[in-house]
Structure 1
Amino acid sequence: MSHNQPPPVGPPSWIEAPPPPPMPPQPTSLPKWARKRVLIPAAVLLLGIGAGIGGSGDDQKTAAAANPAPRVTVTATAASKEKPAPAPTVTVTKTAPAAPVKATPKKAAPAAPKDKVVFKVWGSAPAGVDITYGSDSDNLQGRGLPMTKTLTLKNDALYYDVTAQLQGGGDVHCSVTVDGKTKTGHASGGYNICSAQLNGGLFGDWS
């Protein structure tokens, strides 16, 4: 060692420092009065948080009711000013039912002029018809339809008649008229005969 070096300061290095004093024992649990002081503020804090959440929900509902839903405006396209084309005209033609054909009414033979006898045959005879007319003393042949023949009245005649026999089919009428009196007959189909006759009376009348 040199005598010029300063002497060492502090305790020698070989001397160890004394250990720190021991810590006082810490309590493992709080007393009841301390726990109450901790629990009560914690409960109040939790209630406040719940009230805040509930109030926030009510505020949201109130705000939703106060703020109505936004209005939606729909703009319709303006209709065209052009007039629509007229609809096509449909013509309905109705066919009127044919009027029923009325049967030709049978006309009574007109009265013969005084002192005249009139014989008539009319109708349809496609296969032909044989016609005879006259009195008890005269027998004449007629032809064709319609047929009209006139004779002079004889006071001594007993009767005047006309007959028309069909030849296989047809429909005919016949009549004889004397002094305003008329008799008629009718035949239809086959070989049937149409016959009409007026008889003279004792007093010059005809029936």
Structure 2
Amino acid sequence: MSHQQHPPQQPGWGGPQQPYGQPPIPPQPPKKRGVGKILGFGCLGFLAVIVLFGIIAALASGGSKSKESSSSDVKATDSPSKSAKPAAAGTAKSSEKNTHGTTKPAKKVVTFKVWGTAPAGALGGLDIGYGSDSDTRKGTFKNGKFEATLPFNSDAMYYNVNAQLQGSGDINCSVTVNGHTKKGHASGGYNICDAQLSSGLFGNWE
């Protein structure tokens, strides 16, 4: 028997060897990436860039607002101090006025009074004398009363007032020195109403 010889098999495009007489199987082309996937990744990247810009803009605006609010707070805190200055000046002026008002001592006076009924007699009306040991004066009785004042003299030894009736009447008299008052009374005839305050050893008027 004769054996038929077959030619040697040649490899096809990297695939398995095919038996002789059959056409070689062409290799499969490389897989192409889908256009949709590429577009999807591109859109996602664009959205990420937009989001990133939005975050940066928000941070910038928040920082500017915080600066404005801090500056407004500083202005708000500064305004009371400015308004407080005039008030402090006003209180200082008022305190100066008060101190000036209190430092001025009130002038001390001695008060002399006579009141009551004293009809005029043959020698005239009620005879009134008042003053101190170094200053004696005459007074006039009108409408049922007499009142006079003299500046207080610390060197005076006494202050007094006296009034003598002219035949009839009823009168009262008083002298006041540094808040101390001495009173007297006379009634009928030619009696004398007398009131006197004398300076004591320690300046206490009695």
TM interval, shorter chain, is 0.3 to 0.5
Give the TM-score normalised by structure 2: 0.45
Q: Which has a greater percent of helix? A: 2
- Structure having the higher Rg: 1
